[in-house]
Structures are given as structure tokens and as C-alpha cells.
Amino acid sequence: MRKEILSITLVLFLFSSSILLGRDDYRLVSSEVIFDRHTADQVNPRVTVPMYLRLQALEETNVSLWESIPQNFTDHVATVDSNVLALFISSNSLGFNLSKDSVGNLWVAANYSLNAGEYISTLAWVSSRTTTENLSSLEFTMFPASYPDDVKVFLEAGRKMPANNETIQQIAANHLNENMTQTVENIVAFVNTQGYDREKSRLLLSGTLNTTDILDFFKDALQVYETNSSMCLERSWYAAAILRAAGVPTRTVTDVRLKTWIQVWLPNIGWVDAETLCAPGAPHVGMFPKSLLFHVPWMIENSSDARFPFGWVPHAMMRVANLTFDDVATFKVNEYKTVLTQPVDALEFEKDPNGFSFPIVVEPQVVYAAVTESGSELKFFLTKAGENASKAIVLGEPNSLGIGDLAVSFTPTRQVDFLVLQDFVVQTVWRFDLRLLAPIVGIPVAIVAVWLYWNRRRQSR
């Protein structure tokens, strides 16, 4: 009889344990679930994209990681409205600074003291929409007698773009026309006769790239010419070097998907976007001006030298572990204690909450957060499976908000146009669950019932 009682008790224990163990800690779910959200405007929707950067130190070092933060973008072709919903900075950061450069790029510099093998990372959620676009044909444009001071720098030779090289200058001369617009079209068509370097692109995203300087990984304009193959960033530098040699001020633009193209400056028009990488054999329609629909500009080149949207100083040996958010399991929200967010206008958020919410990527259900601003009032929102919670934010003090069995806490401060959420923590909180009664009540009742059953059988014999 004792063996039978023990067996039944064990079955009940395993059953009740399975109920308890079903209450998983909050962690990442698949990106398909996260991205399966739609904004209110289906004709011209907001695009919410992640920007994930993860580096591994291969030696002991103290470094500053510099990364550009997407901002609103305007030129002759388009106006792109961008909001940084959240920028997570890994918790091993010793601090950070924000600064703007001469062309308006906003940079965050985070400082780290690292041992070999340690990781640093950031994850940004950016909401963006192209609000206006002008793709009308460009008229005949004469080369000007002089250029504005802030434009002249983009005629100079620089790192990766040797505009003063004889070979580059000869190529420029071969495609020069008295019409600046035609000169741009000629050179864009010329560089697009190259082959596409798929292996270079694969290696960049493979997680195996080890380097002390990310720019060293890419070819310069002469190497592109000699190998006759390139990826979009290298081809943009190649086109820029030739155009500068031809007298057309040129700089590059990189978007959050690491797609790069060029901007050329034309008198009385300003900066105009041009495509420098198209499929072999494809018609060159729509290359100049280039459409920016669904593009989220990340960084505009800010000097005569080539620039990448992120880098680190000093030049310690690092492994570029992740540049995409495909492997969501690599991100754990509580490894990021600092979150920068640009508060969204409360009325805009009310019209399109999906377009301005970022995931605090958890399971079994994804929870989204948002920060809004109305005058001096700031509010923090949480959304989970149709359930909503919100609370006014108090600056300089610990804040917390719960939804279901999830609690989010942080201490907010202001810096530039951002709200900085320090000590950002996402955790589960205990709340009474009737399922907990199963092991507490069920097992003793079952034991008593079995004991009574066998006791009655014994007495009846």
C-alpha cells in the first residue's frame, strides 16, 4: 500500500511542478512576433527597425564606442521623420556622452573598461517615415564659379577617397560634361558597371570579422578600381572620389540597414541623393535622384574622410560579433541598465501607438513600451496583449510601472533631446495564482483519500 501511495503522490508532484515551471522568466521571443505590428497609416506607414551592434574585446583595453543616432533628415529629395524610440546601452558601460557634428549627426560615446572576451553592445529601435519626396528630373546645371564654405570640404581628397590621384582624375575627365547633372549621371552609370562583392558583405555580417579599425576592412577607391568589384559602401566612396575630382561636391549617406549611397551638391538645388549600387543589367532609372522611401538614414559623412556609423578608440582588437538582429537570443533586456529615448508627442502617439512603441522583448507575450510628452508632462506606457498601463514620469526619482506579472523600473533624467532611463530593470513580480493551490491542497487531499481507501479495504477483510 505504501508503494501505491508513493506512486500517486509522485504523479501529483510532477503535475503540480509542471504548472509552476511553466512560469518562465521574461526573455526574448522570435523577431517575427516582434515585427508583426502595423501602423495606422497603411499607405505611407511608419517603419520600425532595430539597430543591433555587439562587439567582443579580443584584448584587455579601455575604449570609447562611438555610434551615430538617426535623426530627422531633409535634403532636396526627401524629408524623413525619425524617432529613436529606445537606445539600450549595455550595463558594463562606465558612462556616455552625446554630441553633434558639423553636418548634424548625433553621436553617443559610451566608455568601457574591458577584459579579453568581454562584450559591449547597443540596441536601438527607430521609428521612421518618409513624409515628402521629390523625384522630379533635374535641369541643366552649370558648374559654379565658387562653392559655399561648408560644401568645399566635400571636394577634397580624403581617407578612402583619393580625389587627387591621377587615375581617379583621368576617370573623372573621361566622364566630365559642362552640365553638372549629366556629369553625375555619367559617373553613376560608370561605377555601376562593376561587380558586386557578395563575399565582403557576407564576411561583414558573419560575426567573425576581427579588426582594430572597422574602416580598414573596406577597400578604398583605387582598390575598388583595380579589383572591379565592390559592396555599396566601397562603391559610394569610389563614386565620391571620381565626382570630387570632377568638381562635384559629394558625400555618402548610410542607413540603418548599412545600405550606403551618395549625395551630390548642386547650386540653387542643394544636396541630392544618387544610387551607386544596382543589380547588373538593371536600367538606371530612378538612380538620380534616388528614392528614400523606406530608408532610415543613419549617418551623413561629415568631412572629406570616409566615416562609418560606428567605431571605437583607441584602435584595440575587436570582433564584430553582431550587426543584425536576426539572432534575438543574443539580447537580454536586463543586461542593459541605460536606455535613451526620444519622447513622442502625446497626440501623435494617440493616433498611432503601434508606430511609436518599442518592445521590451519578453515571453510568453511581448510587452511594448513608449514614452510620450505633452508640454512638460512625460508619461510611460506599457502594452501587453490588449492590456494597457501608463504612469506620469517623475524626473530624478525612481519610477516603476507594472502590467500583469511584469514590472519595469528606472530613474529618468534629461540630456539634450533625450530622456535617459538609468537603472532600467524588467522583472517578474509575484501575484496570487489559483494554480498554486494545486500542489498545496491537492497532494495532502490525495494522500488522505488513498489512506482512507486502503484503510476501509483492510477493515472490510
Q: Over the stretch 79-118, which tens digit does the pLDDT of each residue have?
A: 999 999 999 999 999 999 999 999 999 999 999 999 999 9
What SS3 state is found at 343? Answer: coil
pLDDT of residue 333: 86
Length of the chain: 461
Give the CA distances from residue 126 to residues 46, 298, 363, 383, in Å, rounded to whole numbers and listed in that order: 10, 10, 22, 18
DSSP letters, 126-195, are EEEEEEEE--PPPPP-BPPSS--HHHHGGGS-BTTB-TT-HHHHHHHHHT--SBHHHHHHHHHHHHTTSE
Is 300 part of any domain?
no
Could you list the residue range(s) of the whole structural domain that residue 221 is in?
Answer: 136-290
* 321 and 275 co-located in one domain: no
Do 284 and 189 fall within a single domain? yes
Chain centroid, CA 196 distance in Å: 25
Are 16 and 41 part of one and the same domain? no
Would residue 295 count as lying in a domain?
no
Portion of the chain with pLDDT greater than 90, in percent: 73
In this structure, the answer to whether residues 144 and 118 fall within a common structural domain is no
Q: What is the pLDDT of residue 405?
A: 86
How high is the pLDDT of residue 433? Answer: 53
Q: Which of 94, 78, 74, 85 is nearest to 341 (CA)?
A: 85
Same domain assignment for residues 215 and 328: no
In which band, very low, low, confident or very high, does the pLDDT at 33 lie, cut at 50, 70 and 90? very low
Q: What pLDDT was estimated at residue 207?
A: 93
How confident is the model over 226-284, as pLDDT tens digits? 999 999 999 999 999 999 999 999 999 999 999 999 999 999 999 999 999 864 444 45
Is 432 exposed, middle or buried, given 0-12, 13-18 or 19+ CB atoms closer than 10 A? exposed
pTM of the model: 0.84
| Residues 149, 277 share a domain | yes
Work out the burial of residue 285: count CB atoms within 10 Å of its CB; fewer than 13 is exposed, 13-18 middle, 19 or more buried.
Answer: exposed
> Does residue 308 form part of some domain?
no
| Same domain? 111 vs 244 | no
Provide the number of structural domains found in the chain.
3
pLDDT in tens, 311-342: 999 999 999 999 988 766 667 888 999 999 99
CB contact at 8 A, 34 and 326: no
Burial of residue 377 (CB within 10 Å: 0-12, 13-18, 19+) is exposed
**Mean per-residue pLDDT over the chain, rounded:** 86
If pLDDT is split at 50, 70 and 90, which confidence band does 385 have? confident
Same structural domain, 223 and 336: no
Q: What is the CATH number of the domain that holds 148?
A: 3.10.620.30
